[in-house]
Amino acid sequence: MRRLLLPVPLLIAPLLLFTAGCGGLPSAEGKASDAARDVARKAGERLDGPRPRTAEEVGHSASGIDGVEVLRVTGTSTHEGDGIGLVVRTSGTAYGQRRDREPVTVLRCFSVRVSPASEWGEDPPAVDCPDGPPLTFAPPPEPPPLPYEELRAKLPRVPEGGRVDEAGIRRTLAALDLDRAIRTEVKADNGRVGILMSLKSNGHDPQDCLVAHVRPGVTEVWVPSRVQRMPGEGGCSIGNALEPLAPPH
């Protein structure tokens, strides 16, 4: 049987048509740009969250993400208007078709929106890079420490059968010279005095607080568990000072 031999051009033509139909393979620069976009997308996911934050807070958080430079910040708060807008610069590296060549690295800028209305995992659009160096941001101020040890040392120890002096406890607390950010509440009930010291809650994270009570034979100061300090759990309340909550399971 004789074999039918096709001319070489006829053998190559279908392969060329197949390649053209599938489109050209992405270039090294294109793949590197996609890698840079992926860094910006992941940065947007890390910055997402329900807690309201200022532009300074978001900028500081973004600038601390590995591989991210913050070049512009717009807006005042994540929960006001359109939220916080960032222009970030990232880099991406990729190889071309031949691995024996040097990889291609590109720098690209993207727009990242931090707002409750932002879509999780959305690809940030590419934008022109603003002129100038990356922005720097001061870290947020540390909250004042709550005076756990000092309160524990200064509160009176009332003997069994004695009487708790509410006015004396209030004078003791006034003499502590607390930071103005620390809110203090005192309440007497059924021969006991409860004390609550707390910092303002943001409504999302565990609140910083300590509680104490003084009654005949017992003086206690403690920090409620993290679960009890979550919004709505009642750990940071004067009621918890007077009638301590059961420990979480």
Encoded amino acid at 79, one letter: H
- Residue 203 has a pLDDT of 82
- Residue 62 has a pLDDT of 96
Contact status, residue 89 vs residue 76, Cβ threshold 8 Å:
no
Rounded to 5°, angle at Cα 60 from 34 and 81 = 80
Contact status, residue 160 vs residue 216, Cβ threshold 8 Å:
yes
Give the H/E segment covering residue 121: none
pTM above 0.85, yes or no: no
- Average model confidence (pLDDT) for the chain? 88
- Residue 14 has a pLDDT of 45
Average pLDDT on 186-192 reads 95
Alpha-carbon gap, residue 77 to 96, rounded angstroms: 42
Alpha-carbon gap, residue 196 to 76, rounded angstroms: 33
3-state secondary structure of 238: helix
Average pLDDT on 149-154 reads 96
Average pLDDT on 131-137 reads 94
CA 131 to chain centroid: 28
Please report, for the chain, the start and end positions of each structural domain, with discontinuous segments joined by +: 26-127, 148-242
Question: pLDDT higher for 84 or 3?
Answer: 84
84: buried, middle or exposed (CB in 10 Å: 19+, 13-18, 0-12)?
Answer: buried
Distances (CA, A) of 186 to 178, 195, 231: 15, 5, 21
Confidence of residue 24 (pLDDT cuts 50, 70, 90): low
Encoded amino acid at 130, one letter: P
